[in-house]
Structure 1
Amino acid sequence: MEEEREHGGSGRTVCVTGASGFIGSWLVMTLLQRGYHVRATVRDPDNKSKVSHLLDLPKAGTHLTLWKADIMEEGSFDDPIHGCDGVFHVATPTEFSSKDPEMYFVGKTMAEKAAWEFAEENGLDLITIQPSIVIGPFITPSKPLSIELSIALITRNERLYPMLTRARAVHVVDVCNAHIYLLEHPQAKGRYICSSHCFTIFDLSKSLSQKYPEFNIPTKFESVDESLKPIPASSKKLLDLGFKFKYNSDEYDVGDLCSEAIETCREKGMLKL
């Protein structure tokens, strides 16, 4: 298993749950491009998560990458998982995002805690990735919450402004690359933050205003101090393992990340002003 991790896909089979989602769809595409065989599953957002589904995972050699996600309903995807060299669990609790964006993240945090407890009790090889706001082009038919966030200053969705006041972001390509890198790296263990950019709402406003002057993007925000400084989220553990961000903050600012999402929305006719 460890020797195979160093040589990419090489025909190995992995399972991706939540494959119809923003990250999941990109991950499937990236895995296929790298020579993996992929078994993909699509989650019913109305299902209630049950940690006991992890009992269906093979104990030996399993590498489960959890994107702060909820655990699948018991017995939902027995066949696609068995016989796989690894499982990427990237399903998201969409029932939270449609009602309360903050509960979306609460749900993920609670699910990850439950997953760690279950993995320890049952001897599972669990690795989790905590990305910040995932931005970039998307191939799903609808806009994910993180894409709604990235275009909030253009659509004037003020409900989302507080989540952009002091925020962190990462490109979807880097998130997918990190998933695969940790699967293939024999020394990978534990939790990894995956975040390349930290910014304030003023940083985002300035960058997008320069790129899209036609949108007349707001530059003043009520009750937000303009001297506000960003709060970084360290990806040191991931970088120390040898991972490199393709969309790093030295070459790309947060507006560059958002611009790809904006252009995708334009192409799909989803940018309603």
Structure 2
Amino acid sequence: MAKSVKVCVTGGAGYLASFLIKTLLERGYTVHATLKSLGDATKVELLKGLAHAETRLKLFEADIYNPTDFEDAIQGCSFVFHLAMPMLHYSHSSKYKNTSEAGVGAVKIIAESCIRSNTVKRLIYTASIMAASPLKVDASGYEDVVDETCWTPLNLSYQMYSDYISSKTQSEKEVARYNGRGIEVVSLACGLVGGETLQCFTSASMAVLIAQAMDDGTLYKGLRCVEDLLSKVPIAHIVDVIEAHIFAMENPDINGRFLVANAFLKSAEIAVLIQKLHPDITIPPKFVEDTKRETKWGSRKLQDLGFQYICDADKIIYDSIVCAKRLGNIV
């Protein structure tokens, strides 16, 4: 299939997107990748340096704040992976007042571009597990199980990541509205992702995941905020996350929402794994707090379709620490 299939990946130089593009090129796909600016030499060189990029990768300039830019990149593609999202609000925008409006606006225009193309079969949206909180809407506690029916309540206030939570939740709900309206839509709500990176720095997701090992109070606060939002911390290896994206493209019978994580741990359990797998690392006691929560992970939708995770919690944590050491974040 790959030899005759052209796909589009938005946000091409991002942590997940660059790894996805690398894998797609290795498997024979032709890739249209978007970047916010083709004048950013570091990001352009990252992608152009990938194997098979000379013959099967084409770069396009497209900005979430000008989402009609994505039309050219989408034309002629059979599948679109939408990973681009605004992390910070562009305050000079006259079109959107915050990142939520920008994210939702981009989803609408990209989905409509997919429909107009007459070639796109499926739009695969990279969502976030932060949009799938088991918190009860009255903040009285958590549901017993986390699965695809969970949606983060937007009526509550959150200590950190409130703009990100709102943007990803509203954008995922918006993209779901287009399923069956001329295209199929798959939404992959990914947990904290670690393991390895093509970038020259540790991604925000991986840094939060191993915050205790990095001895960083701000990152640890972020880890605890994820834990408080989701009851525990869902984690996944980048290899599995990328395989889930490709599975969502190649499986003819897939659509709808899927949670992507292969472990659901308390932050205190992550600390235990770090010290077991990397005994040279000492975690300060202030970074180990057991919440005593017993919420269960209830999502098996991907596995029920035949997807298999390769990397367990030990592999996710071990590889993330090795990666952070290589990049100089842990000495």
TM-score (norm 2): 0.63
Select 2:24's aligned residue among 22, 31, 36: 31
RMSD, aligned CA: 2.7
Query: Are residue 267 (structure 1) and residue 267 (structure 2) matched?
Result: no
Letter paired with 2:266: T
Secondary structure at the residue paired with 1:178? helix
Query: Are residue 169 (structure 1) and residue 235 (structure 2) matched?
Result: yes
Partner residue of 1:65? none
- Deviation of 1:94 (Å): 2.0
State how far apart, in whole Å, the 2-side matches of 1:72 and 1:87 are.
19
Partner residue of 1:109? 169
State how far apart, in whole Å, the 2-side matches of 1:129 and 1:227 are.
28
Higher relative contact order (CA 8 A, sep 6+): 1
- Deviation of 1:210 (Å): 1.8
Q: How does 1:125-136 map to 2 (within 5 A)?
A: 125-136=184-195
- Deviation of 1:120 (Å): 5.1
Partner residue of 1:205? 271
Query: Are residue 140 (structure 1) and residue 199 (structure 2) matched?
Result: yes
Secondary structure at the residue paired with 1:77? helix
- Gaps (5+ residues) in structure 1? 1-7, 45-69
**Percent identity among equivalent residues?**
29
- Deviation of 1:243 (Å): 0.7
Partner residue of 2:82? 89
CA contact (8 A) 1:86 1:183 kept: yes
Select 1:235's aligned residue among 295, 299, 323: 299
Select 2:244's aligned residue among 153, 166, 178: 178
| CA spacing shift, 1:143–1:204, aligned 2, 3 Å | same
1:80-106 superposed Cα distances (whole Å, 9 cap, x missing partner)? 110001101112332279x94343232
Secondary structure at the residue paired with 2:35? coil
Select 1:159's aligned residue among 208, 216, 221: 221
State how far apart, in whole Å, the 2-side matches of 1:265 and 1:35 are.
30
Deviation larger for 142-151 or 78-87:
142-151
State how far apart, in whole Å, the 2-side matches of 1:115 and 1:232 are.
27
| CA spacing shift, 1:194–1:120, aligned 2, 3 Å | closer
- Deviation of 1:79 (Å): 1.6
- Gaps (5+ residues) in structure 2? 38-62, 90-98, 100-158
CA contact (8 A) 2:6 2:78 kept: yes
State how far apart, in whole Å, the 2-side matches of 1:102 and 1:232 are.
24
- Count matched residues: 231
Letter paired with 2:256: G
Letter paired with 1:217: I
